[in-house]
Amino acid sequence: MSTFALVPDPDDPELTRNVEGCDHRGQAVALSVVVERPLTLYLNGTEVVTLMTIGDHPELLALGFLLNQNMLAGDDAVTAVDYDGDLDVVVVRTRSESSYEQKLKRKIRTSGCAQGTIFGDLMERFDDIRLDPAAEVRCSWLQSLFLQIGRQPSLYQKAGAIHGCVLCERDRPLVYMEDVGRHNAVDKIAGYMHRHGLGGRDKIFYTTGRLTSEMVIKTVQMEIPILVSRSGFTAWGVDLARRAGLTLIGRARGQRFIVLSGGERLVYDLDFAKAAGDDGGDLSAAHKIRTDRSATSDPC
């Protein structure tokens, strides 16, 4: 039985539509494509941003966006989150005013696709966050997570052109979100965590997207100590991960992965000699260095 509390719904007719075209032979085809729609976010009556999104879970996206932009603090009292589907507007109301007007003046744009933005003072909390040094991640957990996530029906499998993010605990995937921008998928999970009172200190975050500075910053702000991706790294993403003590695992496919930060959290509990034949070749020597957490030599 699946352990997911929330998963994508590829059968939702609002999220995809069929488009007719032709293939390389000139033959007619009908292709399922992801729908993009604007969502305008208001905080206490003032317009903040318009995001391009697939449109599912707009309330969670709004909450997570404001939290990850430091426009809401974790202890701010949210009194209402109202969504109007006809206007494509979501309004987040709090008991007291925030300082978001000043933050908007220092807006900068990142490498995130679609409407990925952060603010000039986003790093104010970054250096104050202490990720759990006792957290660990086992290779067997990663292998199990990859299998469970890969088998879960998704919009990516149906239509492509989309990113996915999954909140996990040990070898259990909990919340799976997708969107046209990976930053939106992250923010939906942040909104879910806030709404359900979930902490990040014992969690693992999986993403299909690149391990950029934005992904690292948002993961650290959610106080999640381990970030995993099937994609690659950016140099600033690695630098920030090392600065925050975040375990950063990329190029994760099958039995293979690369760790560029926080390698002390890795527990290599798989028999790689047997596992190597399962994914088509030998694992690199870097994957064989640590056999337990007591090892003293760790290039990560």
Query: 139 an active-site residue?
Result: no
Q: Which of 81, 130, 76 is nearest to 100 (CA)?
A: 76
HSE at residue 137, side-chain half, CA atoms within 13 A, is 32
HSE at residue 100, side-chain half, CA atoms within 13 A, is 25
Letter string b/e over residues 70-102, b meaning 16 or more CB atoms within 10 A of that residue's CB: bbbeeebebeebebeeeebbbbbebeeebebee
Quote the longest CA-to-CA distance of the chain.
61
* Residue 267: strand pairing partners: 138
Q: Which of 84, 4, 100, 2 is nearest to 44 (CA)?
A: 100
Q: What does each C-alpha distance from 168 to 103, 165, 230 come to in angstroms? A: 31, 10, 15
Which of these is catalytic: 22, 113, 165, 300? Answer: 113
The catalytic residues are 113
